[in-house]
A and B are shown apart, each in its own frame.
Chain A
Amino acid sequence: MDGGGGRGRELERLRAEREELDARIRLLESEIETGSAAPAGEAGGPAAGVGDGGGGACQACPGLAHADSLPADMIYRYSRHLLLPDFGVEGQRKLSRSSILVVGAGGLGSPVALYLAACGVGILGIVDGDDVELNNLHRQIIHQEAYIGRSKVKSAADTCRAINSSIKVVEHHHTLKPSNALEVVRKYDIVVDATDNLPTRYMISDCCVLLNKPLISGAALGLEGQLTVYHHNGSPCYRCLFPNPPPVAACQRCSDSGVLGVVPGVIGCLQALEAIKVATDIGEPLSGRMLLFDALSARIRIVKIRGSSPVCTICAENSVFTQEDFQKFDYEAFTQSPMSDKSTLSLNLLPESARITCTEYKRLIDKGEPHVLLDVRPAHHFQIVSLSRSLNIPLSVLEEKLPMLETSMKETMDASAASDKQPSLYVVCRRGNDSQSAVQLLREKGFHSAKDIVGGLQSWAQDVDPDFPAY
């Protein structure tokens, strides 16, 4: 049995190698076709594009040194690269022959794609299934207002082509999933993880290990960023570092916690830099090291991390994880979180009798029913926008601030005509989850009339007041 497993592993490795060779052949073929991005096929005709490129041709005919040089338009366009002694013609040539896949055309992917296009990679692939939204534009600088509502990949690819028409930009208009990831990733030499969620990060790492591709991984949230190169020069894969996923409550998202636009910009630029270093084999990539960026204190810390783990279930020598296993692996179940930054979990903590819809609540206001509206969002959310005459007590401090709510209830009761009757208490939050937890707590503490407004302010904007600002 052991021998069979080892042979199976060997077979997969060979298949991966064959895929890689096929990818190179495709690249060379496309260079010969287009002619413009061809580093070697230009002067000597199609024949020069075969074999090991211009280098071989040059050695054969030392008098014709120019056969090895870049075409004139490339020399001018990339002259500042060529002037770098450590990069030079060789670096530019390697770059023009490399193919890099950027997964995610968001805050990280924007600068990555912009720089990789501008610097002249041979083939730039961009994969993303989302459309451009107005609230993306503060950080996703590759997109423009005119593209709102249209595909992010189309938008990003158009911008890249506008910057550099001599490279090949490939559009992958879908979310990367276990069912399609192998097929997409195997066409490229290097992968850049510019995604926004945990299950996708595990999936991309596993895929890169199976296909033996270096992975330039970046992440940003709030005012912090992180960057490293996985599965390259003995560095670990994502699973070596994080064999078990964190609890769901520890997974903050940009759509909940916010992010300063320039922070993913900084990390994305560094990802582009690492991708260029890996593609051209210059310098020391961040393999086995991790860069930690703290924007507020303007501190960058570069730390040494463990090497690839001999007991890693994915990348260890004796791993039994196959491409078939990968395609069947449920990454959302593994991490208990969705493969999207946007999808929201809807809690259902309360009986129907303890809930009220936005439209019902609107009718109660119109009837003038005396009530207290408690908004349990954090204070900085309340400052963005709130319903009129709502009282803000964040859920995290609700228990200790119950006297404040009692006072408000009493004032409302005193002001109303039927002053012997307890006023109603409605609880609202952004999406209708925290409000349910709050109602549970309030009912335990004796506020029996507390009801949750289903779907929160998001539903209010959708169902009652379309002018109410969404965020």
Chain B
Amino acid sequence: MHLTLEFGGGLELLLEKSTKVHKVDVQPRDGEDKATMKGLLSWVKSNLIKERPEMFIKDDSVRPGVLVLINDCDWELCGGLDAELEDKDVVVFISTLHGG
């Protein structure tokens, strides 16, 4: 399943060469029919995050202060960790900014 993942608000600093946009191919986890956000988070943690994983993940979810958007919609409105992903979905992880 092809997904576009985007990281912003400083989260990109945790990835190789601080790349913001990643086109990836992710499969559902063993025993699951569809890929879920929960599976995607652990995939991102093992495959994309290069440093300080605690700046991305806390317990089983994203750390406080990170918004997750599935096709430009807050994941809280799509089922959160249980949200099911479709081919060609765009998932954005963005850290909230405080500066001004």
Tell me the bound Cα distance from A426 to B77 in angstroms: 53
Q: Does B60 contact A (CB under 8 A)?
A: no
Min C-beta distance of A316 to chain B, whole Å: 15
Q: Does B79 contact A (CB under 8 A)?
A: no
Tell me the bound Cα distance from A220 to B67 in angstroms: 16
Our pick among A104, A241, A252, A303 for the contact of B100 (Cβ within 8 Å) is: A104
- Main SS at interface, chain A: mixed
Our pick among B10, B54, B67, B72 for the contact of A302 (Cβ within 8 Å) is: B72
Q: Does A173 contact B (CB under 8 A)?
A: no
Min C-beta distance of B97 to chain A, whole Å: 4
Residues of B within 8 A of A302 (CB): 72
**Interface pairs (23), CB distance under 8 Å:** A108-B100, A196-B98, A196-B99, A218-B100, A220-B97, A221-B9, A221-B10, A221-B98, A222-B10, A225-B97, A242-B64, A246-B63, A247-B65, A249-B52, A250-B65, A250-B95, A267-B100, A294-B8, A301-B72, A301-B92, A303-B69, A306-B77, A341-B99
Min C-beta distance of B28 to chain A, whole Å: 25
Q: Does A422 contact B (CB under 8 A)?
A: no
Q: Would A254 and B100 be within 8 Å (CB), given that A224-B9, A306-B77 are in contact?
A: yes
Our pick among A109, A197, A304, A341 for the contact of B72 (Cβ within 8 Å) is: A304
Q: Does B73 contact A (CB under 8 A)?
A: yes
Tell me the bound Cα distance from A106 to B98 in angstroms: 13
Does the CB pair A224–B55 fall under 8 Å?
no
Min C-beta distance of A250 to chain B, whole Å: 6
Interface size in chain A (residues, C-beta < 8 A): 47
Does the CB pair A242–B9 fall under 8 Å?
no
- Max chain B CB contacts within 10 Å: which of A224, A242, A264? A224
Which A residues have a C-beta under 8 Å from some C-beta of B?
104, 106-109, 194-198, 201, 218-222, 224-226, 241-247, 249-254, 257, 259, 264, 267, 290, 292, 294, 297, 301-306, 341
Residues of A within 8 A of B66 (CB): 246
Q: Would A305 and B100 be within 8 Å (CB), given that A226-B9, A250-B55, A250-B95 are in contact?
A: no
Residues of B within 8 A of A301 (CB): 72, 92
Interface size class of B (residues with CB under 8 A): 20 to 34
The 4 A-B pairs with the shortest beta carbon distances in the complex, nearest first, are A246-B65, A221-B99, A244-B64, A219-B97
Does the CB pair B94–A292 fall under 8 Å?
yes
Residue interface mask B71-100, A partner, CB < 8 A = 1: 011101100000000000000101111111
Does the CB pair A196–B64 fall under 8 Å?
no
Residues of B within 8 A of A109 (CB): 100
Which B residues have a C-beta under 8 Å from some C-beta of A?
8-10, 20, 52, 54-55, 63-67, 69, 72-74, 76-77, 92, 94-100
Does the CB pair A252–B74 fall under 8 Å?
no
Does the CB pair A246–B95 fall under 8 Å?
yes
Our pick among A196, A220, A226, A249 for the contact of B55 (Cβ within 8 Å) is: A249
Residues of A within 8 A of B20 (CB): 294, 297
Tell me the bound Cα distance from A201 to B72 in angstroms: 24
Tell me the bound Cα distance from A220 to B100 in angstroms: 5
Tell me the bound Cα distance from A267 to B99 in angstroms: 11
Min C-beta distance of B22 to chain A, whole Å: 14
Residues of B within 8 A of A221 (CB): 9-10, 97-99
Residues of A within 8 A of B97 (CB): 219-221, 224-226, 252
Does the CB pair A246–B64 fall under 8 Å?
yes
Does the CB pair B98–A251 fall under 8 Å?
yes
Does the CB pair A201–B98 fall under 8 Å?
yes
Tell me the bound Cα distance from A13 to B73 in angstroms: 32
Does the CB pair A303–B73 fall under 8 Å?
yes
Tell me the bound Cα distance from A407 to B75 in angstroms: 52
Chain A, Cβ-Cβ closest to B95: A250
Residues of A within 8 A of B74 (CB): 303-306
Tell me the bound Cα distance from A143 to B77 in angstroms: 42
Residues of B within 8 A of A107 (CB): 99-100
Residues of B within 8 A of A244 (CB): 64-65
Min C-beta distance of B71 to chain A, whole Å: 9
Does the CB pair A292–B63 fall under 8 Å?
no
Residues of A within 8 A of B77 (CB): 304, 306
Min C-beta distance of A294 to chain B, whole Å: 7
Q: Would A106 and B64 be within 8 Å (CB), given that A224-B9, A249-B55, A304-B77 are in contact?
A: no
Tell me the bound Cα distance from A226 to B94 in angstroms: 10
Does the CB pair B98–A198 fall under 8 Å?
yes
Does the CB pair A252–B96 fall under 8 Å?
no
Chain B, Cβ-Cβ closest to A198: B98
Tell me the bound Cα distance from A198 to B77 in angstroms: 25
Residues of B within 8 A of A245 (CB): 64-65
Residues of B within 8 A of A247 (CB): 54-55, 63-65
Besides A221-B9, A226-B94, 13 other CB < 8 A contacts? A107-B99, A196-B99, A219-B100, A220-B97, A220-B99, A226-B9, A226-B96, A241-B67, A250-B65, A253-B99, A254-B99, A302-B72, A304-B77
Does the CB pair B76–A303 fall under 8 Å?
no
Chain B, Cβ-Cβ closest to A218: B100
Residues of B within 8 A of A220 (CB): 97, 99-100
Residues of A within 8 A of B8 (CB): 224, 292, 294
Does the CB pair B72–A253 fall under 8 Å?
no
